[in-house]
Amino acid sequence: MITRMESNAYGKNAINLSKIHRYPDRHEIRHITVNISLQGDFETAHTIGDNTKILPTDTMKNTVYALAKDHFNTSIEAFGLYLADYFLSHNPQLSIATAELTEFCWTRMVFDGKPHPHSFMNGGSEKHEAIVIQDRQSISVTAGIKDLLILKTTDSGFSGYIKDQYTTLKETEDRIFSTQCDISWKYLAPSPDRASSSDQVSPSDQVSSLDQVSSLDFAGLYSSIRNNLLHTFSEHKSLSVQHTLYAMGENVLKEFAAVGEITLKMPNKHHILFNLEQFGMDNRNEIFNATDEPYGYITGTLVRDKAQ
């Protein structure tokens, strides 16, 4: 039997890193995890045990910590770009370098209305994520939010759906809408050849040079996109999770020309109206049974329609 290596990759996962920025009047804490994955000319390591082209994964870990000292100063996207480029430029046997970064949220403690200079508390389940993929010709950058738990108590309904012999769900025009969503978007690099109108670009434009993509204000974009998503969720008159998912993605594509594609995963965290009639009591949308499982799982990816 003849076999061949179709593809291969290796790397170091779960590199847990914290960095303190020490200013005269306060400290800032950054807490991230980093995954590094390398693809390239490693076939002989598999076939004959030749490790001469293998960069040890322990070295990858040490490199991340060492480079963080001088190069993890702004966004995780910018740090991911530096890491991917460093591994690719220092290892000619590589064809692709991927850096996946997750940042955990910490919020400053506040006492008597005054933020404490060096004490923090966990910001909840929400995390900021970024994926940088660089090969010898191009770079792509994806950013996003993971485990964003949001809820609104009205402006949400669900009716007009299929009903068969197994349907027990009652229609409602006013319900709790809660979801713990994962949202990711792919950035487009600025280009003088690209028209300013955001509907004249496509997902195929999502790769670029290091200089092009590095010019993006990742921190500012992330904050603005996150706020846009939250505002749309809050203000949208929802007829279903699908309805609001589309509105959230559509508004991001309308408002941010730097985004070429957005994917939303929105599990429905059900709050089911509890039957108080069995106790001779009315339930006027006040008492709910909050359930974790099972749950509805709704996803969608939006891109700009080039035909428009």
Catalytic site positions: 12, 57, 270
187 Cβ neighbours under 8 A, 6+ residues apart: 77, 140, 141, 142, 143, 206, 213, 216, 218, 221, 258, 259, 260
Exposure class string for 46-63: b at 16+ Cβ within 10 A, else e: eeeeeeeebbeeeebbeb
- DSSP-assigned letter for residue 238: B
CA dist 137 and 7 (Å) reads 19
Contact criterion met (CB below 8 Å) for 248 and 227:
no
Q: Is 223 helix (H, G, I), strand (E, B) or coil?
A: helix
Residue 32 phi/psi, 5° resolution?
Answer: -135, 160
* Integer-rounded Cα radius of gyration of the chain: 24
